[in-house]
Structure 1
């Protein structure tokens, strides 16, 4: 439904929910283990729920509790077809596709929204070369066959999720495997998160340069109780609100040494000129003399919409580079971000693989079309902190994909000076 957001800077404190990226990985490791595991997860988004439901369809027993999930691992894959409803979650699809092959399951992935249009190449070809059969029929993706060990080579500049999915699947195979990444590895921090989850699961995945030598016949062994850390991707929205506020915003519940790539928001905000203070499990950001910067989108693609909001009121010019992959997200995020800024009075030029944003004194408010993209809706809320007029978003419910309680947490902040 539509939501109208009152303009003006905000201040206050927010405790951020669990990391969606880490929750996917820990749930999968728990389901591929040998013993029951509690995955403590503060806040269950639509994407996390999709992964849990798909793992249940593959034979895991997953009980949703007030504190997260109790996971009994997959002992035997159900006979016949497994229907896997992954919604719009690219992580669910790309992580579980090779795992379905490793389990030798027959499955159908049900995809929604833009997910059927988002790329699967070259992962699909690699899986076919190693024993799987894949067939697309509209929103459905049929897969069968037993994935076999061997030498795997995959490009590193399309999606780190392909590499993460293979890293989680290959230890399950009978034969050993060698996973090689060709070309530059973008979003390397997300692969590091997967390595962390696998190491926590006591799997052996030695890395040698741009390749991993992966022994087969392994099972995950997570601790009996595993806590998902706070989400840096969602933290970025509130920290950017802080960068637009003299009194600032504090976000609590964070691992300040996290391998999550979106922790990089701190560096970018410091370069913008914001005042950033780290303390315990919290970060406080306050407005400084904001000025334009150059942002490499390759390691932090999900942050570009909200960082572009900060850029829109930073003095001078901000250049966003290496951002072509944003066109393959829940919306074409380069175009959608440019459209959002223009609708609110920002000055932006859209390039093939980036944006050039010239700062203005303030945004003037207006109507934002979210394209059913959660990050655009939350970026619009952030933009209200730099606007002089009301901002209306056409679909506030899309935030459920990653942050169901976003509007509640946003509403807990007070207007600056009140």
Structure 2
């Protein structure tokens, strides 16, 4: 589906949907417990739904109500099962070690670019600890019982591997260690997993980047929980506020959240935007914007929309340490550069960085390349120039009601 967006700023207030990252973790912790959990989750994206479907396949009962309430009753299946991951990397990388810890014979079905996204060295560590992995095209089958022991993973490949093992190792009979080696990227996402484990009563010791995890533990979340607002999705409208004289307010946020993309507030301030905060909201208003340097290592999901802000400001912005963007739903370094060029922007693409020169965007057509964050970043660019987004439906991966919220802030029907 294509959407034509006329040029013009957004203004007003929007309540952001639930955090996809937190919802994945809480759903899995709930399924690994022994008592039912009710999770209030405003806005069930495709990725969250994929995790729910996979937990059903593993034996849990998951009910939804009004696209916002999830009731989960733990359960197990002894039969071979198929786990439909869709295009959700979090679902696959979290549940692969969890399924192995449960001793399940599970076949993961993958769509889109997910089969091409890396699993090494997580797969090698699992095989070293008793698991067999068989890959056939778009499917990956895990069998065997994951054994306790000493695990090691590099910190600069994917924090999702680390999170998956942190959720799996407490289920094993014996004690385990997990050592994260080298420079750790996306540490905030690991912190989110630690928070979820503590909430579920899971014990672990952390010494630097070595975890000591007792086996034989039971997950026990509170019976009722609410998922906090999603900072990754809030970033799109906060960036739109930086291009709006009247500004945009985003509500439903936890300003003390461990979500790493909360860094959007400080980055927009660094650009020169006017930012004010309350306990549960952020307002961003336009001010003269200037170029800055952005380290993408911990915030890869913010780079497409921050690139739009950079293109609308003055001077040069350098986005560095961004090689991992090439392994997302699209090659996000390439598709972000293509987005800006399609709209008349000036950008230089390097193997692990972008250099963006601020200039007036003139408008054009952007192919979202089935990447939700490219589609939403293109919509923000329409604050300054007319934009046609090709493949706009891909936003359902993380923010199904994005276009409705966007239209409300634009003051028109799309």
TM-score (norm 1): 0.97
* Post-superposition offset of 1:414: 3.3
Secondary structure of the structure 1 residue equivalent to 2:160: helix
Please state whether the residue corresponding to 2:22 is helix, strand or coil: helix
Query: 1:415 offset after TM fit, Å?
Result: 5.7
Distance of 1:337 and 1:414 partners within structure 2: 23
Partner of 1:409: 405
Q: Give 2:46's aligned residue.
A: 46
> Does the Cα contact within 8 Å between 2:35 and 2:220 map onto a contact in 1?
yes
State the SS of the aligned residue for 1:166. Answer: helix
Per the alignment, residue 285 of structure 1 pairs with 284
On the 8 A contact 2:17/2:229 being kept in 1, the answer is: yes
Matched position secondary structure for 1:108:
strand
Deviations for 1:331-354, whole angstroms, at most 9, x for unmatched residues?
000000000000001000001101
Consecutive unaligned residues of structure 2, counting only runs of 5 or more, are none
Match of 1:109, SS state, is strand
- 1:149 corresponding residue in structure 2: 148
The match for 2:367 is 369
Supply the distance in 2 between the matched residues of 1:348 and 1:413 (Cα, whole angstroms).
29
Q: Which runs of 4+ in 1 moved over 6 A?
A: none
In structure 1, the partner of 2:57 is 57
Tell me what 1:355 maps to: 354
Q: Tell me the distance in 2 between the aligned counterparts of 1:207 and 1:259.
A: 17
For 1:20 and 1:52, how far apart are their aligned partners in 2?
Answer: 12
2:97 alignment counterpart:
98
Which residue in the other structure is 1:72 paired with?
73
**Deviation at residue 138 of structure 1 after TM alignment:** 0.5
1:25 and 1:194 in contact (8 A); partners too: yes
CA RMSD of aligned residues (A): 0.9
Q: Distance in 2 between matches of 1:205 and 1:262?
A: 25
In the TM superposition, residue 77 of structure 1 has moved relative to its aligned partner by 2.3
Task: Please tell me whether residue 140 in structure 1 is matched to residue 139 in structure 2.
Answer: yes
Q: Deviations over 1:56-90 (max 9, x none)?
A: 0000011112232000012x3232x2100000000
User: In the TM superposition, what are the counterparts of 1:141-290 in structure 2 within 5 Å?
Assistant: 141-290=140-289
Report the Cα distance in structure 2 between the residues aligned to 1:386 and 1:149, rounded to whole angstroms.
Answer: 55
Distance 1:140 1:60 in 2: 22
- Structure 2 equivalent of residue 395 of structure 1: 391
- SS in structure 2 at match of 1:239: helix
Q: Superposition pairs for residues 320-335 of structure 1, below 5 Å?
A: 320-335=319-334
1:313 is displaced (CA, Å) by: 1.2
Residue 6 of structure 1 deviates from its aligned partner by: 1.2
Q: Deviations over 1:153-178 (max 9, x none)?
A: 01110000000000000000001000
Deviations 1:288-325 (A, max 9, x none): 11000000000100000000000001110000000000
Deviation at 1:179, TM superposition (A): 0.4
**Structure 2 residue 123 is matched with structure 1 residue 124:** yes
Residue 27 of structure 1: aligned partner: 27
Corresponding residue of 1:312: 311
Deviation at 1:363, TM superposition (A): 1.0
Following the alignment from structure 1 to structure 2, what is the Cα–Cα distance between the partners of residues 72 and 240? Answer: 39
Q: What are structure 1's unaligned runs of at least 5 residues?
A: none
CA distance in 2: counterparts of 1:301 and 1:190, whole angstroms:
12
TM-score w.r.t. structure 2 length? 0.98
Q: Deviation of residue 46 (structure 1)? A: 0.2
1:280: how far off? 2.7
Equivalent position of 1:16 in the other structure: 16
Is the 8 Å Cα contact of residues 8 and 415 (structure 1) preserved in structure 2? Answer: no
How far off its partner does 1:330 sit?
Answer: 0.2
- Tell me the secondary structure at the aligned position of residue 11 of structure 2: strand
Q: Distance in 1 between matches of 2:411 and 2:243?
A: 12
Distance 1:226 1:121 in 2: 34
In the alignment, the residues of structure 1 paired with residue 78 and residue 71 of structure 2 have an alpha-carbon distance, to the nearest angstrom, of 20
